[in-house]
Amino acid sequence: MTLRERRALRAAAQAELDHLETQIRSLTRSFDDIVAANEQANTDDEHDPEGTTIAWERSQVSALLRQARLDREAVLATLARIDTDESFGVCATCGQAIGHERLLALPATTRCVRCAARGSWET
Ligand SMILES: [Zn+2]
């Protein structure tokens, strides 16, 4: 990997991190709003249809928040690796180069496109 490619990847990972930070702030605000609305309504989730909706919204936002935080961890780990880890950019499964374009699009990916296609659970 060239110095120029490394620099481009660092910028892409940094942009992804900024995006995730914004998303996490917005989701945290939504979550707080839902909790506040729930407390204000003082609803019973079991019997009140409004309460059921609030509980569902809360679980949705909570799941999105959890995923965004995991993504942020992955991007932070990537930023730490870009300059220091010799194996950065190498597929964790097959050991081939992941490819610059793929890393630009998905900075935190640890697998090449062929290995990722084999296991759809991994991006
Ligand atoms: Zn691979």
Query: Per residue in 36-87, pLDDT tens?
Result: 887 877 655 556 667 778 888 999 999 999 999 999 999 999 999 998 888 8
Query: 34: closest CA among 67, 63, 57?
Result: 57
How many whole angstroms from 87 Cα to the centroid of ligand 1? 13
**pLDDT at residue 29, as a whole number:** 97
**pLDDT at residue 122, as a whole number:** 47
The mean per-residue pLDDT over the stretch 10-24 comes to 97
How many whole angstroms from 89 Cα to the centroid of ligand 1? 10
How many CA atoms, within 13 angstroms, populate the side-chain half-sphere of residue 117? 5
The mean per-residue pLDDT over the stretch 80-109 comes to 93
**pLDDT at residue 53, as a whole number:** 84
Please name the residues in contact with 114: beta carbons below 8 A apart, sequence gap of 6 or more: 94
Torsion sign across C-alpha atoms 26, 31, 34, 39: negative
How many whole angstroms from 3 Cα to the centroid of ligand 1? 23
Distance in angstroms between the alpha carbons of the first and the last residue of the chain: 21
What's phi and psi for 94, nearest 5 deg? -110, -10
How many whole angstroms from 119 Cα to the centroid of ligand 1? 11
How many whole angstroms from 25 Cα to the centroid of ligand 1? 34
Is 42 strand, coil or helix? Answer: coil
How many whole angstroms from 9 Cα to the centroid of ligand 1? 19
